[in-house]
Chains A and B, each alone.
Chain A
């Protein structure tokens, strides 16, 4: 599966935030003063209590939220200086797992999973083949024609993960990717994410659980402020 856009700046960091801040709502403080640089292939676990600002950070990195101040660069580009079409091309290089899942309710499971590839212009047969393989791997092979509302939360979350990784993104941003899953499914999903990271994708996982997965880099957030980044465990 090809990526949506050619890698124009191969040496640029995958993600760079400099003094980035994002209000929770207009006039309400959210996240402030985040400085972060991730090289290609890095893996960062962001953890903190509920309301610490993890989702705001993921929103800034995933281009779903415009920074109130500071600077955000993704794959060497300042997305908010690009035209909408350029920003769209950049978004195709990201794989997002939203906390609210953001499934398209009137598309089938297969349709949801295929969406990033369709948007990137992949051929329909390639789409069908890859989606079938991916859904099988995620344990959703038998539900390909179901609608998201017919899935339980565990299945919905697996579908969100499948959709995020379907386009072989260069950067994967996973906000509580296994929060509602049973232990087996969670292990399987985390294994998939780590495998993609080993293959070169930059991975950022946000979770309330600091022990969710061993990560070489860890960043704790508290009340919207980053605490000192700590080195984590090296993957086996």
Chain B
């Protein structure tokens, strides 16, 4: 049965565009999730100890690093030199001429043992026992920020995915309506001659699914190409990208196909009765 190329092409292009958009949103979401998770995991494996500025700060920092390195659950502790601390704190402390390094606290980076990480209290106790006045930061605030960032990024991406799902549902339903309308005379005759509604539905759905599957494949490939060209999503592993795009495309096809099925079944049911 010859089908007009224009409406088919329009269906394929629009469905492919929605699929590509959904794929890009999925990849962006995965990348942002991975990045936030990476930050959170890294921050959870570290703590920072700050010593108040004093004339003997360098000696205190070396001693504190030694004490901390010997604390159970600590893999490594190293005192950061003044220049590095200045660079780290510059966003908060820098005036027009840069921070005064003498007034900055000394920082000690502590890497925790991933198998049995020390708790914040353990470091507090160890430092107090050594008579060192210091503030232990277990990065809770930063980790919370990483989670908040992840959630803030997720909301618009979920919105885009919902929009794409609605668009695919609409295009699937619209295309099925068009296709059923185009075949209406033949379908009505077949139904009058005793064909079951299901047997009339099969060729309509087969034609729809072929177009929507093509759109789904094209949309997935376009999303992959754009993601690769932009380079913004390089942190998502290629295999994970492919899996994610396949899942998004298949879900899009399922949504559009289900709507096409529902609309075509309703129209054929109306013709039958």
Contact = CB atoms under 8 A, between A and B. Distances in A.
B192 A96 contact: yes
Nearest to A87: B272
Contacts of B185: 102, 104-105
A4 B194 contact: yes
B248 to A, nearest CB: 36
A104 B186 contact: yes
B267 to A, nearest CB: 13
B196 A64 contact: no
A171 B196 CA distance: 19
B99 interface: no
A90 B195 CA distance: 10
Interface string B37-59: 00000000000000000000000
Interface string A52-68: 00000000001110100
A119 B194 contact: yes
A165 to B, nearest CB: 12
A105 B190 CA distance: 12
Given A84-B269, A84-B273, A85-B198, A119 B190 contact: yes
A194 B272 CA distance: 30
B261 to A, nearest CB: 16
Interface in B104-123: none
Contact of B193 (A84, A87, A105, A115): A115
Given A115-B190, A119-B190, A106 B195 contact: no
Contacts of A226: none
Nearest to A4: B194
Contacts of B196: 84-85, 88
B189 interface: yes
B189 A102 contact: yes
Interface residues of A, number: 28
Given A66-B273, A87-B272, A106 B1 contact: yes
Contacts of B191: 88, 91
A84 B269 CA distance: 8
Interface in B152-201: 185-186, 188-199
A208 interface: no
Contacts of B195: 88, 119
B230 interface: no
A164 to B, nearest CB: 9
Contacts of A62: 192
Nearest to A107: B186
B202 to A, nearest CB: 13
A90 B188 CA distance: 16
Contact of A92 (B189, B194, B197, B198): B194
Contacts of A103: 189
Contacts of A94: 194
B194 A91 contact: yes
A98 B193 CA distance: 11
A177 interface: no
Nearest to A80: B273
Contacts of B197: 84-85, 88
A217 interface: no
Contacts of A98: 192
A96 B193 contact: yes
B192 to A, nearest CB: 6
Contacts of B192: 62-64, 91, 96, 98, 102
Nearest to A94: B194
A107 B269 CA distance: 23
Contacts of A66: 273
Contacts of A87: 272
B2 to A, nearest CB: 7
Contacts of A102: 185, 188-189, 192
Interface string A102-117: 1111110000000110
Contacts of A144: none
A204 to B, nearest CB: 16
7 contacts: A4-B194, A84-B273, A90-B194, A94-B194, A102-B185, A102-B188, A104-B190
Interface of B: 1-2, 185-186, 188-199, 269, 272-273
- Please list the 3 inter-chain residue pairs (A to B) with the smallest Cβ-Cβ separation, ordered nearest first: A92-B194, A91-B194, A88-B196
Interface of A: 4, 62-64, 66, 84-85, 87-94, 96, 98, 102-107, 115-116, 119-120, 163
